[in-house]
């Protein structure tokens, strides 16, 4: 029986257990680190683009919503021979342009506890009381006996002058980071005008904060404004003026 069977073990063949050398491990680690950095950079870039795009869309939504509310108010405007019934204040001496007018809201937009349907409305830009470097759009609204008395005493100017971010009883915040309000009567030399062209310009919150970090960096801030500026325009037809001084 001897010699018929041979062992399956080949004791004469050496077995080599090969592995990675230290140099190979270091090179692989370096390549992996570079790839991770590249992927993180790409992720940050995509995230920044998304944030900027969402910021611009948010600013544009606020602009359009604000113009819609202004349009609804102006469609209910009460324009009389009294020039204070529709006042367009131009920018001067550091003051931003503003628009004030009388308005008679439809029944579904009136508060039942308010006497009379004549109101005063206004839109203006002002610095945020809490964030001094932020300019916002505010809406002024007064109604009831306050407006009736101002009309009777011909003191609408004094009533409009109460419009202020600090006066929360008659003023509410409409939109943040509004940097420009343009009011153009059409035709320009017609009083009262038949149309109003309103243009709002805004930047998103992130752009506003970047500009606020260094207000003296004129070139950089101008570039940020160009990149982040959003603008919306509405041309609004005004109601026909009332022939006489009678008011609702």
Q: Write the pLDDT tens digit of every residue in 59-94.
A: 888 899 999 999 999 999 999 988 999 999 987 666
Which residue, 104, 115, 98, 96, is CA-closest to 72? 104
Token pair in block for residue 102: 């009388």
Integer Cα distance of 145 and 117 in angstroms: 10
Integer Cα distance of 111 and 143 in angstroms: 10
Which residue, 15, 120, 12, is CA-closest to 76? 120
Sign of the Cα pseudo-torsion (178, 72, 120, 105, in order): negative
pLDDT for res 50: 55
Integer Cα distance of 127 and 89 in angstroms: 17
pLDDT for res 124: 96
Token pair in block for residue 46: 């995509």
pLDDT for res 10: 52
Sign of the Cα pseudo-torsion (75, 80, 81, 86, in order): negative
First to last CA, the chain: 128
> What pTM did the predictor assign?
0.74
Which residue, 132, 238, 124, is CA-closest to 190? 238
Residue boundaries of the structural domains of the chain: 47-237
Q: Which residues make Cβ contacts (< 8 Å) with residue 205, sequence separation at least 6?
A: 55, 58, 176, 177
Residues of the chain with pLDDT under 50: 1-2, 5-9, 114, 245-246
pLDDT for res 114: 47
């Amino acid at each position: 029986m001897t010699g018929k069977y041979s062992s399956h073990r080949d004791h004469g063949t050496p077995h080599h257990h090969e592995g990675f050398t230290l140099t190979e491990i270091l090179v692989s680690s370096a390549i992996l680190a570079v790839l991770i950095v590249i992927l993180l950079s790409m992720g940050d870039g995509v995230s920044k683009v998304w944030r900027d795009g969402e910021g611009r869309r948010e600013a544009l939504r606020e602009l359009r919503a604000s113009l819609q509310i202004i349009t609804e108010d102006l469609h209910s405007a009460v324009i009389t021979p009294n020039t204070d019934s529709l006042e367009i204040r131009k920018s001067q001496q550091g003051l931003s342009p503003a628009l004030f007018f009388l308005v008679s809201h439809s029944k579904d937009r009136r508060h039942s506890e308010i006497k009379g349907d004549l109101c005063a409305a206004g839109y203006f830009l002002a610095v945020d009381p809490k964030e001094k470097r932020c300019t916002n759009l505010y809406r002024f609204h007064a109604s009831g006996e306050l407006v009736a008395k101002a009309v009777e005493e011909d003191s609408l100017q004094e009533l409009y002058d109460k419009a202020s971010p600090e006066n929360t009883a008659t003023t509410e915040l409409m939109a943040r980071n509004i940097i420009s309000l343009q009011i153009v009567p059409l035709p320009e030399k017609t009083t009262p005008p038949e149309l109003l062209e309103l243009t709002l310009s805004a930047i998103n919150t992130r752009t506003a904060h970047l500009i606020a970090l260094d207000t003296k960096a004129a070139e950089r801030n101008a570039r940020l404004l160009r990149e982040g500026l959003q603008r919306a325009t509405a041309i609004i037809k005004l109601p026909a003026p009332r022939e006489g001084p009678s008011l609702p």
